[in-house]
Amino acid sequence: MTALAFLVYAWRTVLFELSNWRKGALTIVAFAGYLLKLILALIFHFIGDPLTSLIFCLETAIYSIRAFYSGIVAYTPVGELTLIIMLASAVLSIGEATVPNAIGCQPYLLTLSGLIGYAVVGGHISEPFFWTLLLGMYGFSRLIKKRDDVTSALPPAAALAAVGEPWVRVLAMAAYLALAIFHYSKKLGEGKEEVQVLATKRKVPLPLFGAALAIGIRVTAKWAGYRHLTWMIT
């Protein structure tokens, strides 16, 4: 009988404690609900309906992507971009052959030079500001990063070879080639030939990758349209 009374008392205590935990959990859930209501009220008060704002942002992003894609398909200058890729790749090859890892050590500057070139071609920045930015990139790489002249001049030279006037392109490539030859002969004369760096992963600079991607989209879209028209005729 004593054991039975003890078990009954124990179960009653357990049930009482579970009831207290249930009340505590319900209180916490209710508090979280009130807090969520307060946050939603603040959101509605300051920015309006969040669902409507989210839908508007998504629609704007979709329309922007479609407009950008349509612009690439309709207006991408395949010939000019191909020439840009060839000339910029020639400058990059000269720099990499003279100073190994000249491309890999400054991917951000190369990307910035591509963006600056796109901005000056699109008329977003003026030519004096364009030249100032190129000079600033060279000074940053040469004075701050303490790189050699060939590596420091690589982003400006690639930008000039890509988007400059014909005479600017020829002059930039000739000057950079002369600088590379002088740097290499100076190192040979000092007995400090550059050590060849074997890089397992070489990444294409983002500006060249973007230009190649635009060409691919344009050519693919034209081919798909031509094939679709051919199938409709046949």
CA-based radius of gyration for the chain:
32
DSSP per-residue letters across 77-129:
-HHHHHHHHHHHHHHHHHHHHHSTTTTTT-HHHHHHHHHHHHHHHTTSS-HHH
* Inside any domain, residue 50: yes
Do 12 and 80 fall into the same domain? no
Question: pLDDT value at position 50?
Answer: 57
Question: pLDDT value at position 73?
Answer: 73
**Residue, of 156 and 3, whose pLDDT is higher:** 156
As a whole number, mean pLDDT of residues 76-105 equals 89
Choose the most confident range, by mean pLDDT, from 30-44, 62-76, 103-117.
103-117
Q: Which of 23-32, 93-102, 112-121, 216-225 bottoms out in mean pLDDT, i.e. has the lowest? A: 23-32
Q: What is the pLDDT of residues 147-196, one digit of tens each?
A: 989 999 999 999 999 988 899 999 999 999 999 999 888 888 776 555 55
Residue 188's domain comprises: 76-193+206-212
Question: pLDDT value at position 233?
Answer: 47
* Inside any domain, residue 13: yes
* Inside any domain, residue 115: yes
Question: pLDDT value at position 6?
Answer: 46
Q: What is the pLDDT of residues 45-68, one digit of tens each?
A: 665 555 566 666 667 777 777 777
Do 8 and 116 fall into the same domain? no
